[in-house]
Amino acid sequence: MSDEHGWYLETVAEGGSLRRVRIGVLPFRVGRRQGLELVLPADSVSKLHAEIYLRGPDLRLRDLGSRNGSFVNRALVEDTTLVEGDVVHFADFEFRVGRSDVTGVGSDAERRSTTVALSRRELPHRFAEGTRELRELLREGQVTMVFQPIVLLARGTVAAYEALGRGRHPQLPESPLELLHIAESIGREAELSRLFRRRAVELSAQRRDLPTVFLNTHPVEFARPGLLESLEELRAIAPQLDLALEIHESVLTRAPAIAELRGLLLERNIALAYDDFGAGQARLLELAEAPPHYLKFDHRFISGLDQAPLAKRRLLQSLLSLARELLVKTVAEGIETAGEARVCAEIGFTHAQGFHVGKPRPIEEV
């Protein structure tokens, strides 16, 4: 990169001040892990989230398989060119791409440094628009649920449904991810997660013919009180309903604690499912020490599997073999084609989920 002109990332820090971070050494890596060129110490950011690099004269952004995605001008991207003025999001943290004389960017210390770690006080604002409306949504319970089938691959019959939240406030987005971003900005994400689960059970309780209903959690709930109490409330609403609780694989850092949770869930007749397995670390040790009832493989394993090299199929087969030994049911997430479904059945997946086998629908259509 030329010393005459420099690229930088600009953000609005807490208090409204502008913070500029020079894009110096390339590739310029962004993530939660210490030692990267830009460190964002927030759970929504993956340890190694994305990188900025040069291809010929072009500055480019490449997502590194992050859990919550990288976005340019609000569009989810995997690898794209950056130009001055682009708005970039790493998960829910916003930066603007700028270019100017290096001598005008940041402090002398910043120009000398190749690694910048923003403190929590300096972290860029999360999506904060709509916080008043979000409080109204929580107070009035303005959410609904749709139910996506999980099918038994061997028979093609529906074995379960995953309940997926949708907003119903006229001034807020419907997307649960966007709603959770807003809730995170005011520390109410756990409350929103509980509201989604409660509405799912309220709707499901009206039906006596439903198979297992999968309910989602937010990772922050495992660091705050109230999770088990919220599940007990659900049991009181629908004691007859078969439930499975999904936890993201990023939570699987303390196998003994997860094993304890598994026991507590069983006492309440609730199964345990690990979601997005393989999205980050495979966490095979935790899988062996605290096996779930269901293991949901991330869609990155499944996408294009029928066209993938044999080595990828063999890797999946070895993981599925381990799951079978642990008596764990395996779910292939994100199946979109008949070819993907066929290969998933051939290599040993027990269950499947995705638009090819069934789209999310209101409870009336289930």
Q: What is the DSSP letter of 223?
A: G
Amino acid (1-letter code) at residue 141: G
Q: In the chain, where do the E strands start and end? A: 6-12, 18-22, 28-31, 38-39, 50-55, 58-63, 70-72, 75-77, 79-82, 87-90, 93-100, 116-117, 143-152, 157-167, 212-216, 243-248, 270-277, 294-297, 329-332, 351-352
Together in a domain, 29 and 178: no
CB 275 within 8 A of CB 247: yes
DSSP per-residue string spanning 24-69: -SSSEEEESSTTSSEE---TTS-TT-EEEEEETTEEEEEE-S-SS-
Query: Quick one: pLDDT at residue 4?
Result: 43
Together in a domain, 118 and 218: no
Cα dihedral angle (17, 23, 25, 30), rounded to 10 degrees?
80
CA 303 vs CA 170, 222, 243, 294: distances in Å: 34, 30, 28, 20
Per-residue pLDDT of the chain (366 residues; tens, 9 = 90+): 333 458 999 886 655 567 889 998 899 999 999 889 999 888 788 899 999 999 988 999 999 998 888 888 878 889 999 998 888 988 878 888 998 754 444 444 333 344 666 655 555 554 456 788 999 999 999 999 999 999 999 999 999 999 999 999 999 989 898 898 888 878 899 999 999 999 999 999 988 889 999 999 998 888 788 999 999 999 999 999 999 999 976 676 666 778 888 899 999 999 999 998 875 445 666 677 788 999 999 888 898 999 999 998 998 999 999 999 999 999 999 999 999 999 999 999 999 999 999 999 999 999
Does a structural domain hold residue 248?
A: yes
Query: Quick one: pLDDT at residue 68?
Result: 83
φ, ψ of residue 247 in degrees (nearest 5): -125, 140
CB 308 within 8 A of CB 315: no
Together in a domain, 141 and 81: no
Query: Quick one: pLDDT at residue 102?
Result: 45
Angle, helices 338-347 vs 310-325, to 10°: value is: 50
Domain hosting 58: range is 6-122
Per the structure block, which two tokens stand in for 43?
């759970």
- Alpha-carbon distance of 227 to 217, in angstroms, equals 9
Together in a domain, 176 and 89: no
Residue where a domain terminates, one of 74, 92, 122 = 122
Together in a domain, 155 and 300: yes
pTM equals 0.67
Query: Quick one: pLDDT at residue 91?
Result: 81
- Alpha-carbon distance of 362 to 207, in angstroms, equals 13
CATH number reported for the structural domain that contains residue 55 in this entry: 2.60.200.20
Does a structural domain hold residue 226?
A: yes
Does a structural domain hold residue 63?
A: yes
CB 239 within 8 A of CB 273: no
Amino acid (1-letter code) at residue 188: R
Q: What is the DSSP letter of 77?
A: E
Does a structural domain hold residue 1?
A: no
Together in a domain, 182 and 295: yes
Together in a domain, 105 and 185: no
Q: Which residues pair with 12 in a beta bridge?
A: 18
Is the alpha carbon torsion for 97, 102, 106, 112 positive or negative?
positive
Together in a domain, 271 and 160: yes
CA 100 vs CA 2, 12, 57, 265, 312: distances in Å: 11, 18, 16, 56, 44
CATH number reported for the structural domain that contains residue 213 in this entry: 3.20.20.450
Number of domains the chain contains: 2
Burial of residue 112, with CB atoms counted within 10 A of its CB: 0-12 exposed, 13-18 middle, 19 or more buried? exposed
Amino acid (1-letter code) at residue 216: N
CB 129 within 8 A of CB 169: no
Per the structure block, which two tokens stand in for 89?
């999001």
Residue where a domain terminates, one of 122, 146, 177 = 122
Together in a domain, 96 and 204: no
